[in-house]
Structures are given as structure tokens and as C-alpha cells.
Structure 1
Amino acid sequence: MATLLRRLAGLRCSPRPWTGVILREAHGRTSALTPRAAWPPLAGDGRPLTAGRRALCRGQHTEAEPVQVDVKRLEGDDDGIVEVLLCRHKARNALGYVFVSQLRNLVSALSNDSVAKVVVFRSLVPGVFCAGADLKERAGMNPAESDLFVHGLRTLMTEIASLPMPTIAAMDGAALGGGLELAMACDLRTAAYTAQMGLIETTRGLLPGAGGSQRLPRAVGLALAKELIFTGKRLGGQAALEIGLVNRAVEQNQSGDAAHGEALSLAREILPQAPVAVRLAKEAMNRGMEVDITAAMAIERMCYTRVIHTRDRKEGMAAFLEKRPPRFTGE
């Protein structure tokens, strides 16, 4: 066991060093995410950031490249919940160059955010979460360009899955192809009964290329995942709940945001828990699922060792003994 622990020492199982970000709302409007450190030097498509594209990635509106992905930080009792807002209205949140670039930079900033305790991905486009690939852009790519772009998408989904805090996808509308792959990159999913979701790539002569062929079997089992991918079948929210693809499904409401409301309800259940413990629990589960049970137990031990020295653990024990709610600080 000692040898195994030494081999696993390189596996990151502790909270990252957080530099933090500033999330603002001005005059009731959602503002962009502004990290204290500089944004990454490259956009999601690998092209160098020009001055205009740097402004774009900071969430500033430009005529050439309007904001397609934004962010909102909730306040009051919901402080600690951050919402990623998908808002490419004209193209139903299709995964195009600009959309992917903005999402990549936003996710990069969130990965260094010590304030966010839960991140909710939601759409501001009525009736759709994310329609998947931007087929108009894809039609103009040669095979090499298409392969490179999809590789970038796959990397982006991995970065979303690797965010240290819990993430929730709220599907109030269609989540097809890459849109469902985006939702599956999140830890948890909520859906309206009317939402349609599916990996439909085989109906376009393709296969899921942004992680769907790997994440769907892990979510619903291999045989069922094969059926869904081979047939390109679409599921409603109730069916998705029955097979374990989503955590919660609800009737849609008149405002069309029932899944978002359910995602907030779920986030509020996570919010009071010890942030470091939650992040380390996510780390232990994610890494443990990819190795054999013996190695997984060693990963759990390493993560447990890290959390045992936190102030939050001591506060949790004290609160229990004093029969009061704990006051966690994330330390």
C-alpha cells in the first residue's frame, strides 16, 4: 500500500491555489467575468487573441463578435452560486468559433475562482440549451480543420468536467449532439419534461466527438449508451430521468425555466456544505472512477488526509457537539 500511495502522489487531490475572480452586476444587468489575473493567451480555437478578441473574452461587447457566453454571480442567500449564461440567440447556442472561445476563457477563469461554490450552466435562449455543432461553420472546414476544431471541443468539455466545484446543467430545452456532451461534462443535470436530448451524430454521418461516446456509457451503462448512439434517439426529460441521464426532471412552467429553478434548488442544497470537503469529494470520485478499486481507495485516503486538517472539519465537529449549524469558511 505504501508503494501504491507513492505512485499516486502525483495525482492532484487537494484544492487548487485560488486567485479568485470578480463577478459584478451593474444596474441589474448581468456582467462579464473579470479575473484578477490576465486571460489565457489563446482563444478556444487556438488563434492568437487580437485586441478585439481579448475584449470579447473579457465579456465586453464588440460589434464584430457580440457576447455569446456570459456569467452572473448570485447574491444574498445564494452567494456562492455562479451561473454560466449561454446566449447565442440567433444560432440556438450552436458551438461555433466565438461561442467556444468565450466559453473556454470563462471556464479557465472559473477554474481559479475561490468564491464560486456551485456553477450552474443555463441557456437564455428560449426552448434550447445547446443545439450542438454549428453546421454552417463546420461545412466550411476541411477534414483537418474539422478534426482540430472537434479536438478543441473535446478538450473544452474535459476542462468543464475538471472544474473543482460542483457543476449543474439546467436543460430547459433541446440539448443535442455537442449540447448534450456539454451537459454531460457537468456533474449534475436537471431537465424539463419537454426538453429533448440525444447524441444524434450518427444521423449526420458522424459519431460523438466531444466526449459523448465515453461519458454516456459511464452515465447510463454501456448497452443502453450503444442503443442511444447507434440509433441517434432523442429523449424527453422524464425518460432521461428514468435511465439516470439526469438527476432531476420537472414539468415545464409558463416562463420556460423550470429546469433552471430545479438546478438552483439543487445548488442551494450544496451551498451550505463545507466547500473544501465538497471539492475534494468531487476529486476523489472523478479520479477514483478511472482506476481499479485498490487505487481508488488510495486516492480517497489521500483526499481524506487533506480535508482532515482544514478549519472547516474542526468547525463541523464543534457544531455537531454544540448542536448548532456549522459556519464553514472554506479554509
Structure 2
Amino acid sequence: MEFETILLEERDGIFVLTINRPKVLNALNHTVLTELDRAIDFIKTKENTLGLVITGAGEKSFVAGADISEFQGKTPEEARKQSEWGQSIFKKIEDLPFPSIAAINGFALGGGLELAMSCTFRYASPNAKVGQPEVKLGLIPGYAGTQRLTRLIGHSKAMEICMTGRMVSAEEALKIGIVDRIVEENLVDEAIKSIKDIQKNSPIAVYYCKKAIMEGKEMPFEKACALESNLFGLCFATEDAKEGVSAFLEKREAKFKGK
């Protein structure tokens, strides 16, 4: 596929998607979001995909936020529809049946942090800075930032970050749980390695783990436990479960096929 504002490559079953607008710190405009939507739809059609890494071009920024020039003149209804559209794209990323990692190589602000939070994990370079600074523009996050950040780090800290609009360093982001790791160098390569390590396990079991956690967190505890029980049962219908148990009992390494 050809794109104007993103780069998409496949490395051994793992897609690397790069937001490619370094002159404007990879800001999200209408074209970027349209192409991101297309790219995710394309990736979903590819069989045997192991994972997705999302990063930004250059060394300064993952995504520094939305392209503010596109906000001028929007009506309330247009803004609401814009918010719903962006949320739908990021939900597609969150719902992918394999792990995704945001490789945060600099600023991840506003829509950039919202994009990163739609990924399964977030790895950051030491110079990364994250935040939801929309209040400084008289706005609030619109791509589910208030909701994902709250679920990620709790309501009190999420309110503090959203209401002050301050930037959070990589070290603090790691401490409070916004990012999962700080990677000193070769950020994208390390993200790829992590996905490969995860997918040495049964891809079906990895998917069911993600499904149980992501769907279960929105349910009452008893219903979430029932979901876990159902998925646990479904595992026993897979060749991977039979192979995993046999390999353990035979004291050998399992060879999973994702079936």
C-alpha cells in the first residue's frame, strides 16, 4: 500500500508503522488519521501477523498531538464527529488480536499519547515526554484520553495530568504506569524483540489473555471471571494446548502453531 504520511513495513511477521511528518513533529492531521485507519484495516487482513509497533519519524517526537490548524472554524457537531472518528480508529488498534507496542521516541502529547495508550504496551526513549495538554487550548482530550488514562493510572492521577496539562518525563511516566519500559537505544528493535518473545508462547493463548483482560476490566467481577472460564475452556480445544501440556510433561520445548 502507498501512503503520504505514514510508512509501513513488515519484519518477520511484525508490522512497523511510522507516522512520517517529522517537520511538524508527526502531528495527527486528517490525512494521517485516514491513512492510519487504512493501514490498520490492511494489517488485520494479513494472516500470521505476530504484532504491531507504532513509532514516529525522527528523534524528537512520537506524535506531538493533533494538527491544531485543522481545529479552526470547527462547529461543535463537527468536533464531536471528529472525536468519534478518532476514537474508532484507536479502538481498532486496541482490539487487534495480537500485541501492539508504541515505541515513544520523544513527545507523545494529546492525540499522540491517546494513540500510544491504544497499544498493548508503551516503550519510551529516555527523552520521551507524555501528556494531555488540551486544557491549555481550552479543550479536553477527544480520542478517549480521559478514559484510557484513567483506566491505566487511576482517576486521581489522570485528573491531575489532564487538568494541569503538564508534560510528564519518561521516568515519571514509568513510575506511575503510563509507560512499561524505558529503552536506552534501538527502541523499535527492542519492541520487535519483545513481541517475538511474547509470540514464542501460543498465539491463541496470548490473544485470549488480552481478550480476558481488556474485556473483563469493563465487566462486573463475576462476569469477568465467567469470561475467563469460557476462554480457559476454549484453550482446551486448541492444538496449542495439547502441544503445550505434552511438551511440559515430556520435558521438551513446545512448538506452537497458533491452532
Q: TM-score per shorter chain, which class?
A: over 0.9
Contact 1:81/1:119 (<8 A) preserved = yes
Q: How does 1:154-303 map to 2 (within 5 A)?
A: 154-251=87-184, 253=185, 258-303=186-231
Please, which runs of 5 or more residues in structure 2 have no aligned partner?
none
CA offset digits 1:230-277 (Å, max 9, x no partner): 1011111111000011110133x4xxxx43233223223212111111
CA offset digits 1:77-105 (Å, max 9, x no partner): xx232211211233322111111001001
Pair 1:72 & 2:5 matched = no
Q: Secondary structure at the match of 1:114?
A: coil
Contact 1:237/1:250 (<8 A) preserved = no
Aligned length: 259
Q: CA deviation at 1:159?
A: 1.3
Contact 2:22/2:61 (<8 A) preserved = no
What is the letter of the counterpart of residue 137 of structure 1? E
Partner of 2:36: 103
Check 1:187–1:87 CA distance in 2 against 1; reply closer, same or farther (3 A cut): same
In structure 1, how many angstroms separate the alpha carbons of the residues matched to 2:86 and 2:14? 25
Pair 1:132 & 2:65 matched = yes
Partner of 2:80: 147
What is the letter of the counterpart of residue 222 of structure 1? H
Q: TM-score by structure 2 length?
A: 0.95
Q: Secondary structure at the match of 2:168?
A: coil
Please, which runs of 5 or more residues in structure 1 have no aligned partner?
1-57, 60-65
RMSD, aligned CA: 1.5
Q: TM-score by structure 1 length?
A: 0.75
What is the letter of the counterpart of residue 229 of structure 1? C
Q: CA deviation at 1:302?
A: 1.4
Structure holding more helix per residue: 2
Percent identity over the alignment is 35
| Structure number, greater radius of gyration | 1
What is the letter of the counterpart of residue 152 of structure 1? W
Partner of 1:32: none
Q: Secondary structure at the match of 1:261?
A: helix
What is the letter of the counterpart of residue 72 of structure 1? E
What is the letter of the counterpart of residue 37 of structure 2? R
Q: Secondary structure at the match of 2:123?
A: strand
Runs of 4+ in 1 over 4 A off after TM superposition: none
In structure 2, how many angstroms separate the alpha carbons of the residues matched to 1:94 and 1:210? 14
What is the letter of the counterpart of residue 301 of structure 1? S
Name whichever of 291-300 and 317-326 sits farther off. 317-326
What is the letter of the counterpart of residue 83 of structure 2? V
